[in-house]
Structure 1
Amino acid sequence: MKNRARFVDVEGRPAIRFEREYPYPQERLWSAVTDPAELSRWFPAAVDIELREGGTITFTDEPGAEPTKGTILACEPRGSLSYTWEGDELGFTLNPTPQGCLFVFVNVLGDRETAAMVAAGWTVCLDEFDALLAGEPPSQETDSEAWRPVYESYIAEGFPAGAPVPGQGGETS
């Protein structure tokens, strides 16, 4: 599988990290990680974002469900964005390269045991991110069809697992 997550330590906390190189300018990737219309294509929740340090980001996961809120921890236009989301911290760094842009995404985990589950979810989401950037249509595969084998592969690689899987009746693997 391409573009796998790595399980890393960030200041003593468990995290997953993705690095991907794109042949697109930094501004294009910035739009894809900050524009709610573009986020709706690949991010796992609808997002309303106040792009400034200390701003609010609102996540609506399911229709009719109560939205959750996070805080913008850092916002450097076109360069980096980080915020909280339900006990996790998400950070995006966009570094221009001669060929386009290096995209680095780090999800600092609130719970170590969610690593395999979160890595698999982001792998599926970032595949949609790739398709969005390339101008391709969305995948026709359902999230659970795409997610399950990726999740199992992260467990096989030794990523921490054991947290209940949402929508799986409390199943942990």
Structure 2
Amino acid sequence: MIELDPRMGEARTDGEGVTLVFRRRYAKPLAKVWAAVTDAERLSAWFTPTTIERLEVGGRMEIYFPLLKQDSTATIVTLEPMRAFAWAWHEADYDTLVRFDLAPDGDGCRLTLTHSGLRPEDGPETLGGWHAYLEALEAALEGLASPRDFLARWKAALPLYGAEPGATTLNAGVRL
């Protein structure tokens, strides 16, 4: 029997797109995890520099990827305090949906991250990306400064998802 790493994300094909799902348990109060995914300053500490115009359905988000020198926008589509937060992420030629679902779990919190509407060719690099970001979230919840070492964490995660760092090009054409 093969034992799977519970930190691994999974990919499912749904019609013409791909949906990624990650499940994590954090030994932190739900309110702390909620703040980490909905407060722009806390989100920026583990994800990537992000601003949130208004934390409400219809609110606009600006997401900046320094490595790619690329801005993108998103619109908040779900906001159920302490339960669910989702945004429609506006890519250059299509939209995806990023959703965080939270649930209390004893003295901690369960988080499910779902990223849907991806193109099949984006699956492995996006799995590696969210894997790296969720590692940074864990550190941020522990009060540790999350160094901006995304590229190193991402490169380490890629082989877990069948991609090789030397053979991968980020969406914006940055070759690794």
TM-score, length-normalised on structure 1?
Answer: 0.81
Indicate conservation of the 8 Å contact 2:25/2:110, yes or no: yes
Gaps of 5+ in 1: 157-161
Matched, 1:145 2:174: no
Where do 1:60-99 residues align within 5 Å?
60-62=64-66, 67-85=71-89, 86=91, 87-99=95-107
Q: d(CA) in 2 for partners of 1:26 and 1:68?
A: 28
Gaps of 5+ in 2: none
1:79-131 deviations in Å (ceiling 9; x for gaps): 10111112221000011122321100011143111111001011111111000
Indicate conservation of the 8 Å contact 1:109/1:115, yes or no: no
1:30-52 deviations in Å (ceiling 9; x for gaps): 10001111111111232324221
Matched, 1:19 2:28: no
**CA RMSD after TM alignment:** 2.7
Matched, 1:41 2:19: no
Q: Residue 19 and residue 49 in structure 1: after superposition, are their counterparts in 2 closer, same or farther (change >3 A)?
A: farther
Aligned-pair distance for 1:163? 7.9
In percent, how many aligned pairs have the same letter?
A: 23
Residue type at the aligned position of 2:86: S
Aligned match of 1:117 in 115, 122, 125?
125
Aligned-pair distance for 1:132? 0.6
Matched, 1:57 2:61: yes
Aligned match of 2:112 in 104, 117, 125?
104
Paired residue for 2:137? 129
Indicate conservation of the 8 Å contact 2:48/2:63, yes or no: no
Aligned-pair distance for 1:16? 0.9
